């Protein structure tokens, strides 16, 4: 992201600094690529290293198994949280793992309760908000998020999820993408100094950063405070609950380029053309060995005879994962795909619309498809959440057969 600052901090880096109230502060550097990449400097009134305890956080079933025998998949995520108003569930501890590999892990949660403090030490997260409203409270301040937001939270950011007015807004439904390493705006959208270029689908004006500073109430500021931490490497994920001798929300000021931010799919400006534009047109984020696209409503291609649903494609280098969050899915109409469905179209399998959708798409004028896509460069494996809501008839919906071959 670009430079932001808030609160109090010294005119120079790496000097002692007292707040206007005379409190001593302690500088913390949070930086990527060692000391050479994007970074922010935070000024704490406590010592950010003051650990007093650590114990194991049981992450539940985070095992993964191959997508074998090879087939496209459809997962009905709402079945994982059947009541839709989950009592006592939070965004951090109750994610159900859908898909994953060493580069990225995708999960889903329906939450109505404030999460514990949390930090992902494996990589950045991008969370897509299907519905509900929440405050993401962090050491950088608060980001208010709601339906249609993509939320990027940098690695090691201590934060918690606070659902807002669940009675009115409903529970928070969140599609969680945890990267290994960093998730960033693709270089093709940025100048060499990091400004959005003309023609980029979003601009700085669409990016919402934290509001703050956010300081813990005095009655808990000096109390021992737990932080749930994910750590490890890739799919080798571990959980710990570490305890500090004070509340980590003690940052009186910070500046830098690294912080949580959100943008909404409604602000994404799609490029349309005489003939169909390829999916990279819709890319908005990239991680290590994966990309993120926002498919948003658009005027359709206007050329003579132009098909307006994706031609059949074999993404030989990518597994493709679509999360359909609203609208209509013309290409896969009639196949059982609904809201909060996930499809997995793996490499080594050619996919596209149904025959009728392909032919009927000519002359249509507006797409209402709304989907959040992750394409991975390495094969994805299947988690317990996906197995619990797998639509075993989906692989055969192109051919119109509703039952699998007897030999499976
Ligand atoms: Fe595709």
What percentage of the chain reaches a pLDDT higher than 70?
97
Domains defined for the chain, CATH in brackets: 4-263 (2.60.120.10), 265-396 (2.60.120.10)
Question: What backbone torsions phi and psi does residue 248 show, to the nearest 5 degrees?
Answer: -65, -15
pLDDT band for position 135 (cuts 50, 70, 90): very high
**Element spanning 221, H or E:** helix 218-221
DSSP characters over 247-274? -S-BEEEEEES---EEEEGGG------S
Question: What's the chain's average pLDDT?
Answer: 93
292-334: pLDDT as tens digits: 999 998 888 899 999 988 889 888 889 999 999 876 777 777 7
Q: 340 C-alpha to center of ligand 1: Å?
A: 17
Is the per-residue pLDDT at 405 higher than 50? no
CA of residue 142 to ligand 1 center, whole Å: 36
* Centre of ligand 1 from the C-alpha of residue 318, in Å: 10
Q: Rounded to an integer, what distance in angstroms lies between the CA atom of residue 69 and that of residue 402? A: 18
Ligand 1 center from residue 229 Cα (angstroms): 34
pLDDT for residue 168 is more than 80: yes
Task: Give 279 Cα–ligand 1 centroid separation in angstroms.
Answer: 8
Question: Which residues are bridge partners to 44 per DSSP?
Answer: 26, 251
Of the listed ranges 81-90, 260-269, 326-335, 378-387, the least confidently predicted one is 326-335
**Of 405 and 285, more confident:** 285
SS3 label, residue 198 = coil
SS3 call for 280: helix
- CA–centroid distance, residue 155 to ligand 1 (Å): 29
pLDDT band of residue 402 (cuts 50, 70, 90) is low
Q: In this predicted structure, what is the pLDDT of residue 157?
A: 98
Give me 158's structure tokens: 């201590």
CA angle 375, 381, 384 (to 5 degrees): 120
104's torsion region: left (phi>0), alpha (psi -120 to 50) or beta?
A: beta
What lies within 8 Å, CB to CB, of 66 at 6+ separation is 379, 381, 382
Handedness of CA 4, 129, 183, 95 (dihedral sign): positive
**Residue 64: pLDDT band by 50, 70, 90 thresholds?**
very high
Distance 40 CA to ligand 1 centre (A): 37
**The pLDDT of residue 360 is above 70:** yes
The β-bridge partners of 144 are 135
Give 343 Cα–ligand 1 centroid separation in angstroms.
Answer: 10
CA 8 centroid distance within chain: 30
Q: Ligand 1 centroid to 355 CA: how many Å? A: 15
Those residues whose C-beta lies under 8 Å from the C-beta of residue 176, and which sit 6 or more positions away, are 91, 95, 106, 107, 108, 109, 125, 127
Q: Which of 199-208, 280-289, 297-306, 393-402 has the lowest mean pLDDT?
A: 393-402
Q: State in Å: Cα 313 to ligand 1 middle.
A: 6
49-58 b/e (C-beta count within 10 Å ≥ 16 → b): eeeeeeeebe
What is the separation, in whole angstroms, between the first and last Cα of the chain? 48
Given a cut of 50, whether residue 115 has pLDDT beyond it is yes
User: 369 alpha carbon to ligand 1 midpoint, in Å?
Assistant: 13
- The whole-model pTM stands at 0.95
Ligand 1 centre and the CA of 292: distance in Å? 13
Give, as one character, the DSSP assignment of residue 282: G
Report CA(310)–ligand 1 centroid distance (Å). 7
**Residue 61: is its pLDDT beyond 50?**
yes
**Assigned token pair, 271:** 């490029």
CB 252 within 8 A of CB 214: no
CA of 172 to the centre of ligand 1 (A): 28
C-alpha 345 to ligand 1 mean position (Å)? 7
Distance from the alpha carbon of residue 53 to the mean position of ligand 1, in angstroms: 47
Q: What is the mean pLDDT of residues 181-209?
A: 96
Helix (H, G, I), strand (E, B) or coil at 156: coil
Query: pLDDT-based confidence at 345, cuts 50/70/90?
Result: very high
Q: Determine the Cα–Cα distance for residues 22 and 28; give it in Å rounded to an integer.
A: 19
Output the 3-class SS for 364-400: CCEECCEEEEEEECCCCEECHHHHHCECCCHHHCCCC
Residues around ion ligand 1, judged by CB within 5 A, are 320
Mean pLDDT over 23-28 rounds to 98
- Gap from CA of 58 to ligand 1 centroid (Å): 36
Q: Cα 142–146–151 angle (5° rounding)? A: 60
Distance 73 CA to ligand 1 centre (A): 13
């Amino acid at each position: 992201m670009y430079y932001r600052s808030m609160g109090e901090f010294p005119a120079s880096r790496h000097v002692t600094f007292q707040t206007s109230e005379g409190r001593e502060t302690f500088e913390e550097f949070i930086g990527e690529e060692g000391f050479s990449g994007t970074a922010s400097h935070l000024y704490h009134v406590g010592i950010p290293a003051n650990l007093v305890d650590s114990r194991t956080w049981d992450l539940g079933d985070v095992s993964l198994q191959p997508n074998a025998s090879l087939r496209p998949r459809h997962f009905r995520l709402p079945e994982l949280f059947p009541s839709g108003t989950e009592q006592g569930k939070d965004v951090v501890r109750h994610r159900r793992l859908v898909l994953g590999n060493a580069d990225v892990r995708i999960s889903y949660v329906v939450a109505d309760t404030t999460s514990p403090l949390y930090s992902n030490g494996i990589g950045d997260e991008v969370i897509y908000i299907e519905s509900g409203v929440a405050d993401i409270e962090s050491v950088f301040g608060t980001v208010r998020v709601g339906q249609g937001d993509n939320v990027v939270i940098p690695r090691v950011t201590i934060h918690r999820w606070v659902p807002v007015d669940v009675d009115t807004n409903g529970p928070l439904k969140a599609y969680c993408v945890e990267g290994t390493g960093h998730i960033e705006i693709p270089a093709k959208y940025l100048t060499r100094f990091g400004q959005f270029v003309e023609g980029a689908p979003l601009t700085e004006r669409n990016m919402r950063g934290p509001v703050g500073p956010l300081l813990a109430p005095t009655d808990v500021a000096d109390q021992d405070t737990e932080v749930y931490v994910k750590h490890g490497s890739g799919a080798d994920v571990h959980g710990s609950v570490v305890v500090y001798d004070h509340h980590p929300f003690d940052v009186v000021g910070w500046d830098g380029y690294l912080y949580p931010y959100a943008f909404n799919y409604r602000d994404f400006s799609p490029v349309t053309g005489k003939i169909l534009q390829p999916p990279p047109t819709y890319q908005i984020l990239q991680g290590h060995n994966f990309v993120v696209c926002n498919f948003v409503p658009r005027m359709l291609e206007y050329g003579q005879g132009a098909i307006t649903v994706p031609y059949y494609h074999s993404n030989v280098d990518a597994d493709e994962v679509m999360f359909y969050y609203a609208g209509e899915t013309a290409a896969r109409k009639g196949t059982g795909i609904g809201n909060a469905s996930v499809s997995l179209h793996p490499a080594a399998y050619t996919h596209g619309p149904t025959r009728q959708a392909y032919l009927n798409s000519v002359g249509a004028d507006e797409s209402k498809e709304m989907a959040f896509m992750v394409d991975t460069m390495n094969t994805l494996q299947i988690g317990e959440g996906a197995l619990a809501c797998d639509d075993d008839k989906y692989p055969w919906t192109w051919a119109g057969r509703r039952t699998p071959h007897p030999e499976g």
